[in-house]
Structure 1
Amino acid sequence: MKVKQGVGKNSIGLQSVKSTSRYVIQDKSVRKRDDDDADKNLARKIMQNKQYSVSGQADDEYDYEDGPSRMSRKKGGGQGHRDAEKDIRPKRILTQQERCQFCFENPNRPKHLVVSIANFTYLMLPQWEPVVAGHCCILPMQHEAATRTIDDNIWDEIRNFKKCLIMMFAKQEKEVVFLETVMGLAQQRRHCLIECIPLPQEIAKEAPLYFKKAIDEAEDEWSQHNAKKLIDTSQRGLRRSIPKDFPYFHVEFGLNRGFVHVIDDEKQFKSSFGLNVIRGMLGIREEDMYRRRRYESMELQKQAVSTFARDWEAFDWTKQLD
């Protein structure tokens, strides 16, 4: 699959890529004839491999656990011991793609929210109520934990989406703030997600000061050590600013300026932090800042996708993919 050069006035260089990476490995079913032995084998696998464990504690502000779950299939009373024995059978282990609603191969993902699809990434509107009109998200197709550790081909596509979103919103006299919160790396439950928030230019100019102040003021509550509070990524970029496998909060103001904060205590850090700063900048009432994110009806979401797609049409770089 080859990529043509150029997007409007700003060409975006892309290397030739193959679409064979678009699809992830299909999940395998656990099927055994002997029920008792199968139960023992399954229990042993779960104990030996942590990736099969599913935490009952949902990530704050993110409903990744809304997908299919391993629910028991208990039958009603009246059948006695025989029905009880039928229920003692091995349950198929859910793959990461089935648990995560942002994995592109999950059949239950909200397809109606997808706006644009590339080779390794896609653009969608949020599943929850947007902070502002135009609020959207960039995600890799496969289950990646953070942009800090993704492959170059995924990194390049995310940059292409960012560039084109910046151009699209510039036409509306807006600037874009990009947010990424990376936590729970050991569990690999959270899908890499970059939230893109368009702001009026006069408000966006103040965004760096707002975020710096918010992080400095809250640092005493988060940090257990005297780590550097805020790292400017303007010169070195995200990848050269922090090591791999560190939880972090990253905010970018356009493409060439940003801050990254290494999260020292994940229990204290709210995954809604970045959006709450945006809400504060926009003067949203305080009682609305810390509520859980509300979902909208599918009809409203489809209308929002249609409106966004009309604006995105002239800047959609994925149309250049053969």
Structure 2
Amino acid sequence: MSTETAVLPGDRVSAGTNLARWAALLAIMAVVLYPLAWLLGTSLKSPTEILSNLSVLPRNVTWSNYSDGWNGFTGVTFATFFTNSALIAGATVLANMVSCCVAAYAFARLKFVGRGLYFAIMISTLLLPHHVLMVPQFIIFKDFDMINTPWPLILPKILATEAFFVFLMVQFMRGIPRELDEAAKMDGCSPYGIFWHVILPLTRPALVTTAIFSFIWTWNDFLPQLIYLNDLDDRTVPVALRGFLDSSGQSDIGPMFAMSVLSLLPVFIFFVAFQRMLVQGINTSGLKG
């Protein structure tokens, strides 16, 4: 008695559709990852080969690009630039998470006079180009003698000036049932207790999202750091990468590409670590009936 299973036409169509989808996804992934692969390959090429060889793979691997780039220039190593970027990005992440969460809690859960007007003004700041604020902010920080210090990059975050993150958390907190607040009030919780024991634990996914974007945006930021940090010892990674190219035409292209590859590693590590926490927060902090 035969045990062979007949293959239906619908199964062939389904298999062909899945194969086409996988092929399309692989093609898209190849296009998206090609610049990264080219950057990695170029970081291992000599300066002359960078200009002559446009392929991804180098003909002769030049590992010295990484050592030369890490040694930096004018006596300042790239470890200093990485340290500066890490300190500023870490302080920005912490400041945004604390200040934006507190401001969002006030807008989403508390009742006070002018709440709607203040919230509308905050949202309207999203329409204001950041470059418009640079000159008045620079004048203010100069009057406070904060130029050439990290404070102009960190202090605004402490004051919850990132309207996008405040709006993100407000929308998330509005989805938390009000019954939890009422139950906490019946147990004797003050507004501060409700925020600390009820709202804050449930807002973990929004906090992680804020941390991810704050770190990536600050780590890759260039213009504000170029304006406020003048000394070479205080520069961050994006500004330091520009230092490999000077106005005289002399450039260290190989070390610049090598340090560009290393500058991507903290972003990948931070995103992967916090993405795991984001998935865990969504799974564990959901409300169950």
* Bigger strand share: 1
Q: Who wins on radius of gyration, i.e. which is larger?
A: 2
TM-score by length of 2: 0.26
The TM-score normalised by the length of structure 1 is 0.24
Report the structure, 1 or 2, having the larger helix content. 2
Higher relative contact order (CA 8 A, sep 6+): 2
